[in-house]
Amino acid sequence: MQLPVADARTVRTRSFALLRQHSGKLTRVVALQALAAVGALAVPWLLGDLVDAVSSGTTAAFVNRLGIVLVAVVVVQALVIRFAHRDAMILGEEVFAQLREEFLGTVTHLPLSTVERAGTGDLLGRTTNDVDRVQWMLRFGVPRVLVLTATILLTLIAAVLASPMTAIAMVVGVPLLVLATRRYLKVATPAYLRNSEEYARLNGVLTESVEHAATVDALGLGRRRRVRTDEVAAQTWGTEVVTLKMRLSLFFWLGVAFTLPIAATLVWGAFLVDAGWTTIGAVTTVALYAMQVRPSVDELLFWVDELQVALASLSRIFGVGLVEPDRRPSGAEPQDEHVEARQVRYAYREGMDVLHDVDLDLTPGERLAVVGPSGAGKSTLGRMLAGIHPPTGGRVTVGEVPLVDLPEEDLRSHVALVTQEHHVFVGTLADNLRLADTDADEVRMRRALAAVDALEWVDRLENGLETEVGSGGYELSPAQAQQVALARLVLLDPHTLVLDEATSLLDPRAARHLERSLSAVLSGRTVVAIAHRLHTAHDADRVAVVEDGRIVELGPHEELVAAGKEYAALWQSWQQE
């Protein structure tokens, strides 16, 4: 499954909406570009006048005057171009900044299940390659397209004004230009979309190999991964070749379309001069215009090509916004802290339920341990209870309100999940803590760190809370990273916590130490602990045994041991270990 791709209409509507928000600056840029283009046209016009004046006999003073005017025009034009270019670049940056921020907002709120199903390569491709391509177009393409369009239009107008009869010759290339461009545009967008998709796949395969290099090594999968990479790279190359051929054909026909008008202007102009319908000066002007317009059209077509690439990328970027949200805040407020699961089913893949009609009623303040064999569905149940995924069937509620009806930020103040993965974000320790609560001050952060026994080592750091951590910064040990994650939880202050093997990464002594310091944090909260170590179960108020996606036993440790079923067997074997 891939993330959605927006259709051409959506891309158009959203792009125009984006540009409309900057219409003031856009108008100024267009006006300046038009002024710069007028300046560029004055030169051939004046040269045409000079040719006519010289051929009919003129004074040196006239030639000198014209020379001064020419220099003045060039200087003014250079100044206008500078400002036009500067404003266009600023406009490009502003539009891009807005686009990037909107995109980031969308990406960070994407339903996790959708991202997992689409694979990270797809999203990674969109946030890197596609964003880069759009950025390149907005930074350099849009300003150039504005300049070039203004230049071409005004050159044609100026040619008509200089000599309408001669200017007719300038349009001989137009039919060829239109045909070649139309044929190209028809095939370009799908071809570039395929190209982007293949790059995303290549990204995915490469990232997977690099991220799991240790597994690849351990299982001797190197050769297989290389073959797979070669396959995807070959397919990506294939799509590059298609787009390259498309461009080659376009540029060949455009070359013909450009050369024709210059030749036609000269031949047609000579005929008109001969017949006495125009002057040599006018033909000179129009021929100069025909030559002057060529590089502009050439460059414009280069940008039209780049625009197709950018549009394909934009449709992938806007496509991310089309992902259906998996939660819709209803505005309902939970009346109490009672978390309940009713008839909860969940399937990662359609039709393959890994949880079957699970009912669970958490008593506020209780500590429930979830145990069971590997793959039984413990983590999935934990994710349901924490509202990470909406259930495929049934519902999980807090105070009678389904978790999916709560806005994300509210949800986390009710239920939160702690997993084994503790990503440390690049930034300061304080930044990492404030992810939980943007308003947390130093006192609260220190209190949270103290609650998880982390304050001591944080205070030993030279810069304390302001120490840069994450990739390239101070390297936190797994235990420290876990403590930071737990301190974040303290700041979030949810009444219900789901701990998914939260202490399993640590060595047993560190784990027990952390659990002890945690118990202060956990007291008063409802805790669902998904446990590998059965001593967690022993200390819990109740134990739920999960097997094949069902809760097969539920009750206090002593009761379950006495019952002599699954749990009793697990407990016995663990004690023997």
Residues that bind ligand ATP (CB under 6 A): 116, 348, 354, 372, 374-380
Q: Provide the residue type at 277 as one letter.
A: W
User: Could you tell me the smallest distance in angstroms from the CB atom of residue 372 to ligand ATP?
Assistant: 6
User: Could you tell me the smallest distance in angstroms from the CB atom of residue 12 to ligand ATP?
Assistant: 36
Residue 114 or 149: the one with the smaller Cβ distance to ligand ATP is 114
**For 375, which DSSP code?**
T
Distances (CA, A) of 42 to 32, 76, 80, 162: 16, 11, 14, 11
DSSP string, 394-442: EEEEETTEEGGGS-HHHHHHHEEEE-S--PPPSEEHHHHHHTT-TT--H
- The tokens describing 339, both together, are 């978390």
Residue 354 or 551: the one with the smaller Cβ distance to ligand ATP is 354
- What H or E segment, with its residue span, contains residue 92? helix 60-108
User: Could you tell me the smallest distance in angstroms from the CB atom of residue 531 to ligand ATP?
Assistant: 10
Residue 155 or 379: the one with the smaller Cβ distance to ligand ATP is 379
Pairing of strands 352-361, 339-349: antiparallel
Residue 126 or 378: the one with the smaller Cβ distance to ligand ATP is 378
User: Could you tell me the smallest distance in angstroms from the CB atom of residue 1 to ligand ATP?
Assistant: 12
- Coil, helix or strand at residue 337: coil
User: Could you tell me the smallest distance in angstroms from the CB atom of residue 117 to ligand ATP?
Assistant: 8
CA–CA gap between residue 173 and residue 149 (Å, rounded) = 17
Q: Provide the residue type at 23 as one letter.
A: S
Q: Which residue has the tokens 């958490």?
A: 362
Helices 222-274 and 174-211 sit at what angle, rounded to 10 degrees? 160
CA–CA gap between residue 355 and residue 549 (Å, rounded) = 4
Residue 284 or 379: the one with the smaller Cβ distance to ligand ATP is 379
User: Could you tell me the smallest distance in angstroms from the CB atom of residue 564 to ligand ATP?
Assistant: 23
Residue 95 or 368: the one with the smaller Cβ distance to ligand ATP is 368
CA–CA gap between residue 308 and residue 306 (Å, rounded) = 5
CA–CA gap between residue 511 and residue 528 (Å, rounded) = 17
**For 127, which DSSP code?**
I
Residue 378 or 542: the one with the smaller Cβ distance to ligand ATP is 378
Residue 58 or 504: the one with the smaller Cβ distance to ligand ATP is 504
User: Could you tell me the smallest distance in angstroms from the CB atom of residue 543 to ligand ATP?
Assistant: 14
User: Could you tell me the smallest distance in angstroms from the CB atom of residue 530 to ligand ATP?
Assistant: 7
